[in-house]
Structure 1
Amino acid sequence: MVSVPPHVSVVIPAYNSERTLYACLSAVYGQTHPPVEVIVIDDASTDRTREIARRFPVRLLQTPVNSGPAAARNRGIKASTGDVVFFVDADCAPTPTAVATALRIMADEPDIDCVHGVYLTEPLYDDGPVEAYRLLHAHYWRVRNTGRVRTAIFALCAVRRSVFDDIGFFDERLRASEDVELSDRMADRHGIWLSADVTCRHDDDSRLWPMLRKQFGRSQMLVPVAVRERGPAGLRANRPGGVLAAAAVLGTLPLAVLTPVLLVLPGLALTWFVVADPGLADFVRRERGTAFLALFLGLHFLVHLAIVCGGTVGGVRFLLDSDFGPTHRLAPGTSR
């Protein structure tokens, strides 16, 4: 009996994506396993996103107000018809075999219902050292965790439609960590695989302050999502030791007001941070050299400070506001 290849629906949430959407759609239509449909959900963009989408034979959906990626993806899922929904962020350009490779992994591993991939270190557009930092780190921590995992990152991700029939959709109250929350509901009943062979080029943050501001905002969901996780912790982009070291720098630095001798404490914490992830440092040195490694570690430290500050603010908000964070939604058939 000849098996029929799965029909694939590509779902692309887009918000003010005029810079990258043409490259994204060109890559999607260049797949070796072509999708049966491509659905672009314009999340109330104010730029030329819709105009660019209409240059391709996509199905274009529009939201009346900006609602975030969770709501946009949900709308795309409900409008799609494929056996597999392949999510691509509008700032990603998947390599030609991305869809085919994800399908092959699903075929080889019948209990795997979700396959997601990694960013290449080569950017979609080269915008300088901040973007190089972001892509090197994003590539490294994903490749470090390849294989069977408990977390899916939906920037480049294939999911069987049956998963959504079973566990429901993205939590639309979340504008960050929505993929972590959904995959937490998924992981106990549907296998998740992170593959270094499913790849894309990504247009990442390229300016320091917007990058830190985004990290601060996203980190506010770390505590609420972690508290409501129903299983073991999923993927983490940063080593716990590095996060604790950055927190220790912030916590001990004010002690220097008492006496300069106490500057040794934040100095020790900073040293702890530098050595917290030797594998990452070695990877960056091999990719870009020692001089870039120094810049990388400086940017990495600032990002960790944003994580600590955002996580602290989010934790306080979670304690004071019962509506802050994920909705208490469980998969059908599970108990609280």
Structure 2
Amino acid sequence: MVSVPVHVSVVIPAYNSERTLHACLSAVYAQTLPPAEVIVVDDASTDQTREIARQFPVRLLQTPVNSGPAAARNRGIKASTGELIFFVDADCAPTPTALATALRILTDEPDVDCVHGIYLTEPLYDDGPVEAYRLLHAHYWRAINTGRVRTAIFALCVVRRCVFDDVGLFDERLRASEDVEISDRMADRHGIWLSAEMTCHHDDDSRLGALLRKQFSRSQLLVPVAVRERGPAGLRANRMGGVLATAAVLVTLPLVVLAPVLLAVPGAGLLWFATADPGLARFVRRERGTAFLGLFLCLHFLVHLAIVGGAAVGGTRFLLDRDFGPTRHVTPTADR
């Protein structure tokens, strides 16, 4: 059970976050339940991130070289003193009751040790249709999976310190899917709860090229992390039908060289993709209208192409390189 008042440490990993860090910290200090300490871990930024952090009464830690979010979070965990750790990404601005909501759930559900929240569809800064696509999708797949889950997303997340004492810290070899990997170690012994009431505004990707490059890079770790999962699969952002439909389009598109009429085969794959997640389509149409749904599906398909391509490359790398992917054996190393 969580007692009140409770000692909460906020850990914010930040890298080149000058655009969003002030809004993030302002939101953290505006919580209806104030945290005991706020730790910003600057991951070797080259912009004004550190100067912005110093405008607030935070504890600022700095890494000598950029090491990724897993290493930054680990450094924050080791430096923190709270019995609960509130993780907030630097591009997120939690709504005022986010922390209080998490503590209420931890109190109401004694076997739950981790509560995480969802992105609102309204961005932190409105940067156009690509960002709108990203937030609609991110909000939807989380919102339909609320309750007890096997995966924690640490962009907005409260965790009992005892979890890290038990399962160890984040795998610093991973620069993506690190939350999926640690969730797999957590899930069988520490309950995880996804709450639609714990929310934040998020500054998401707004440029298509950068988004696709990021998806391709991150997707290379999908196969290694999935292969080494110890328990059942956790949350997935995309339906398997959509992923398979995208792969079918890629595989069958060369048939057009043999005969133009065979364009119908990848065309059928595109139709399969467009209808693979009717709930998502209804949600987008309700939120932004039919015209935006067409744009949404085009962007969604391009993202799926990047995911499938990245997963194929990552799967190949995993077969050829034993050291690619998560650490095979992670032992608890948390400092108290």
Give the TM-score of the pair, scaled to structure 1. 0.97
> What residue is the counterpart of 1:230 in the other structure?
230
Q: Distance in 1 between matches of 2:151 and 2:91?
A: 21
Alignment CA distance shift 1:3-1:308 (3 Å): closer
Report deviation, 1:261.
1.4
Q: Distance in 2 between matches of 1:174 and 1:203?
A: 23
Report deviation, 1:3.
4.2
Report deviation, 1:330.
4.8
> What residue is the counterpart of 2:185 in the other structure?
185
Q: Distance in 1 between matches of 2:3 and 2:75?
A: 30
1:160-185 Cα distance to aligned partner (Å, 9 max, x none): 00000000000000000000000000
What is the SS of the residue equivalent to 1:76?
helix
What is the SS of the residue equivalent to 2:22?
helix
Q: Distance in 2 between matches of 1:61 and 1:330?
A: 24
Q: Distance in 2 between matches of 1:83 and 1:64?
A: 28
Q: Distance in 2 between matches of 1:61 and 1:206?
A: 29
- Asked if residue 128 in structure 1 is aligned to residue 124 in structure 2, the reply is no
What is the SS of the residue equivalent to 2:280?
helix
What is the SS of the residue equivalent to 1:114?
strand
Equivalent residues of 2:171, 2:330 under 8 A apart: no
1:244-255 maps to which residues of 2 (within 5 A)?
A: 244-255=244-255
Aligned identity (percent) is 83
Report deviation, 1:329.
2.0
> What residue is the counterpart of 1:105 in the other structure?
105
- Asked if residue 319 in structure 1 is aligned to residue 319 in structure 2, the reply is yes
Q: Distance in 2 between matches of 1:268 and 1:5?
A: 58
Q: Distance in 2 between matches of 1:47 and 1:256?
A: 49
Report deviation, 1:34.
0.3
Letter in 2 for 1:267: G
Q: Distance in 1 between matches of 2:201 and 2:4?
A: 30
Q: Distance in 1 between matches of 2:310 and 2:326?
A: 17
Alignment CA distance shift 1:48-1:3 (3 Å): closer
Number of aligned positions between the proteins: 331
1:274-310 Cα distance to aligned partner (Å, 9 max, x none): 0000000000000000000000000000000000000
Q: Distance in 1 between matches of 2:189 and 2:270?
A: 41
- Asked if residue 147 in structure 1 is aligned to residue 147 in structure 2, the reply is yes
Equivalent residues of 1:31, 1:97 under 8 A apart: yes
Equivalent residues of 1:281, 1:293 under 8 A apart: yes
Letter in 2 for 1:44: A
Report deviation, 1:6.
1.9
Equivalent residues of 1:185, 1:331 under 8 A apart: no
User: Cα RMSD over matched residues?
Assistant: 1.0
> What residue is the counterpart of 2:207 in the other structure?
207
Unaligned 5+ residue runs, structure 2?
none
Report deviation, 1:252.
0.2
Q: Distance in 2 between matches of 1:236 and 1:266?
A: 25
Equivalent residues of 2:117, 2:199 under 8 A apart: yes
1:149-188 maps to which residues of 2 (within 5 A)?
A: 149-188=149-188
Letter in 1 for 2:53: A
Report deviation, 1:5.
2.8
Q: Distance in 1 between matches of 2:39 and 2:308?
A: 37
1:80-102 Cα distance to aligned partner (Å, 9 max, x none): 00010000000000000000000
Equivalent residues of 1:185, 1:330 under 8 A apart: no
- Asked if residue 291 in structure 1 is aligned to residue 317 in structure 2, the reply is no
Q: Distance in 2 between matches of 1:171 and 1:135?
A: 27
> What residue is the counterpart of 1:114 in the other structure?
114
1:247-290 Cα distance to aligned partner (Å, 9 max, x none): 00000000110111111110000000000000000000000000
- Asked if residue 36 in structure 1 is aligned to residue 39 in structure 2, the reply is no
Alignment CA distance shift 1:221-1:3 (3 Å): closer
